[in-house]
């Protein structure tokens, strides 16, 4: 009997704010009209999961509903992107002369955006959401599940659980794409580095 646990992490589709390269954390734009083009490609490789968790923001909920139209979707605000505070909706060009922004760029893992969220606060809530999600998945006896979330969330989780160690910014997490993580033991799955990682839609051979 296959005792693997597979968790798929999917980034939401493109929004208009993403197109203009604005900081979009807790702000809540919907998907752009053309987002479904990339999501159609992803949908062809996505199983009709029965256990789906999504960030509660529109772009993630809409993506989850598109990918899993026949599944019950559970929203969890703890899977939101980092809160950029006063920089929400602004671009690099808007903030280039802001000294606080320049300091943050030099040390984004230690400096907090004004009225925003420090990186350690962000990772602590992701850890709490992940641990609770894994326990729920195991409780219902599911062998696979999907989490629809944001780029920063996925990068952080990959730094913790991918079989190959990479830094946060080394992970390529595109809109409407994701990663499938697999653990060999369902009882221990989600609690340490996985044994294989597959990009979805598939572009390369699995690593690990």
Q: Which residues are annotated as a binding site for substrate?
A: 11-18, 59
51 contacts 148 by C-beta, under 8 angstroms: no
Closest CA to 25 of 86, 109, 81, 79: 81
The residues, ordered by sequence, that sit 6+ positions from 38 with a Cβ below 8 Å of its Cβ are 13, 14, 174, 175, 176, 177
39 — phi, psi (to 5°)? -70, -30
For residue 119 the two structure tokens come to 């990186």
Name the catalytic one among 81, 117, 180, 199: 81
| 81 catalytic residue (yes or no) | yes
Alpha-carbon distance 51 to 42, whole Å?
Answer: 18
- The DSSP string of 98-144 is -HHHHHHHH-TTTPPPTTS--HHHHHHHHHHHHHHHHHHHHHTT-SE
For residue 138 the two structure tokens come to 């195991």
Binding-site residue ranges: 11-18, 59
Instruction: Decide: residue 59, CB within 10 A, 0-12 exposed, 13-18 middle, 19+ buried.
Output: buried
Name the catalytic one among 12, 88, 175, 199: 12
92 — phi, psi (to 5°)? -55, -45
Question: Catalytic residue positions?
Answer: 12, 81
């Amino acid at each position: 009997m296959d005792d693997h646990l597979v968790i798929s992490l999917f980034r939401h589709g493109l929004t208009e704010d993403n197109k203009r390269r604005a900081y979009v954390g807790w702000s809540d734009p919907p998907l752009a009209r053309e987002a479904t083009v990339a999501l159609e490609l992803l949908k062809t490789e996505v199983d009709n999961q029965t256990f789906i968790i999504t960030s509660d923001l529109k772009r993630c909920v809409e993506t989850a509903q598109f990918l899993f139209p026949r599944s019950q979707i559970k929203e969890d605000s703890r899977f939101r992107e980092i809160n950029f505070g006063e920089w929400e909706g602004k671009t690099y060009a808007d903030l280039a002369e802001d000294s606080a922004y320049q300091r943050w760029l030099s040390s984004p893992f230690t400096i907090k955006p004004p009225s925003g969220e420090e990186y350690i606060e962000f990772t602590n809530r992701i850890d709490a959401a992940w641990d609770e999600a894994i326990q729920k998945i195991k409780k219902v006896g599911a062998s696979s599940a999907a989490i629809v979330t944001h780029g920063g969330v996925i990068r952080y989780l990959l730094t913790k659980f991918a079989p190959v160690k990479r830094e946060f910014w080394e992970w390529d997490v595109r809109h409407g794409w994701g990663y499938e993580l697999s653990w060999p033991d369902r009882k221990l799955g989600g609690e340490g580095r996985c044994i294989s990682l597959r990009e979805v839609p598939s572009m390369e051979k699995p690593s690990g």
